[in-house]
Chain A
């Protein structure tokens, strides 16, 4: 139990903005990575991070100090991203349609590969690029689990707590996700298109 974070959350609940800002500093990167991997682009990731912290802030009175703060915030963030993914599929009848959040972006621009990903500034191997795309195409129910497991190093139990799922289900999905990605990499290696 991280008592520092629980204490900060308590202070923030009583109106201490400084304490909340500290929590933001502690988690913004992690939530950003999560959102970026889940949603595939910077624009939506930033939006999702802001929304996540807003939800955290307005629900501080519901935070149970006996629960790890990280579990709670990851849950909020992951569920938010899952919702966005669902909405995206639901609205994706016309890729030309302007995205609900406006500012002229349409779905084409939201698709991965249509903007300079931040990693392109860093030397990224082809395989890594392939894997990134492969994660993008992961079915939603494996996506969050793979991301939480591999990129955030959460234990299977912790993932179970975040997603309110039994560990056995988490395990099965990790395995299936892993197999899916392996196959995708194989397809790339064999020159089979996505």
Chain B
């Protein structure tokens, strides 16, 4: 081994990374080469001195100063943390709330009496009461919202009463289905059905 090869080995040794056989080779060289021995001792000495440097005194109030330098604590409620961690669910909840809200407002908006049907010629409206008079026929479906429906005649179709009341006289004859919708949820369902049946027309 020559001196050039020995130098990196010295550093490796001081790093604590020198393997057995290589350490042996280095030792052999150092035994023979005074220059390298001197250099090695100097390097060892340097290491030792650096490691021996005493630590500076840490100021007593350092922790206090560090804590004082922090921004004021922002109180984060557990709820907002949950929202942050469940974005998909949060969006779904907000969406459902918005939809529910709009349905509720639509439901509440319809305060007025509404009569829907293809054939309303014979239908009589008195105040909030809708009358299908005796002997007359409504040819088609009839929908009454927010009112009282009195059927004394015939209805050749489906009858739907939303948020109102239905009175069928003994002379009444309805060829289709009679549906009464009183709650918001079934109203929603009714609206959905109506929407889809309109689509298929």
Tell me if B81 counts as interface (CB < 8 A to partner A): yes
Indicate if the CB atoms of B62 and A49 lie closer than 8 Å.
yes
* Residue in contact with A50 in the complex, picked from B49, B50, B58, B65, CB distance below 8 Å: B65
Q: Which residues in B have their C-beta under 8 angstroms from that of A46?
A: 59, 62, 65
Q: Assess A17 versus B46: contact at CB under 8 Å? Given A29-B58, A46-B62, A118-B56.
A: no
Q: In the docked arrangement, what's the CA distance between A122 and B56, Å?
A: 10
Does A24 reach chain B (CB closer than 8 Å)? yes
* A binding-site residues for B, Cβ under 8 Å: 14-15, 17, 20-21, 24-25, 28-29, 32-33, 36, 42, 45-46, 49-50, 53-54, 57-58, 117-119, 121-122, 124, 127-128, 131-132, 135, 146, 150-151, 156, 171, 174-175, 178-179, 181-182, 185-186
- The docked-state distance in angstroms from the alpha carbon of A52 to that of B131 is 83
Q: List 9 A-B contacts (CB under 8 A).
A: A14-B81, A24-B63, A28-B62, A46-B65, A50-B69, A53-B66, A58-B71, A118-B57, A179-B43
> Which residues of A are found within 8 Å of B45, using beta-carbon distances?
182, 185
* Chain B facing A: main interface SS: helix
Alpha-carbon separation in the docked complex, A131 to B8 (Å):
22
B70 at the interface (CB under 8 A from A): yes
5 extra interface residue pairs, beta carbon distance < 8 Å, beyond A33-B55, A54-B66, A128-B54:
A121-B57, A131-B53, A151-B50, A182-B43, A182-B45
Give the shortest distance, in Å, between A181 (CB) and chain B (any CB): 5
CB pair A28 B66 closer than 8 Å: yes
The total number of A-B Cβ pairs within 8 Å is 102
Chain B residues with Cβ under 8 A from A122's Cβ? 54
Complex-state Cα separation, A186 to B42, whole angstroms = 8
* Smallest CB gap from A150: residue in B: B50
Please, which residues of chain A bring their CB within 8 A of the CB of B56?
Answer: 32-33, 36, 42, 45, 117-119
Q: Nearest residue in B to A16 (C-beta to C-beta)?
A: B73
Chain A binding surface, main DSSP class: helix
Contact present for B11 and A32 (CB under 8 Å): no
* Chain B residues closer than 8 Å to A132, beta-carbon distance: 53
**Chain A neighbourhood of B63, CB < 8 A:** 21, 24-25, 28
Interface residues of B in 62-100 (CB under 8 A from A): 62-63, 65-67, 69-71, 73-76, 81
A residues in contact with B55, CB < 8 Å: 29, 33, 151
- Closest chain B CB from A112 CB (angstroms): 12
Q: Please indicate which of the listed interface residues B50, B75, B81 has the most CB atoms of chain A within 10 Å of its own CB.
A: B50
Q: Give CA–CA (A53, B62) in the complex, Å.
A: 11
CA distance A20 to B62 in the complex (A): 14
Report A-chain residues with C-beta under 8 Å of the C-beta of B14: 178
| B69 pairs with A53, CB closer than 8 A | yes
In the assembled complex, how far is the CB of residue B62 from the closest CB belonging to chain A, in whole angstroms? 5
Alpha-carbon distance between A124 and B42 when the two chains are bound, in angstroms: 20
Contact check, A54 vs B49: say whether CB atoms are below 8 A apart: no
Give chain B interface residues in 13-71, CB to chain A under 8 Å: 14-15, 42-43, 45-47, 49-59, 62-63, 65-67, 69-71
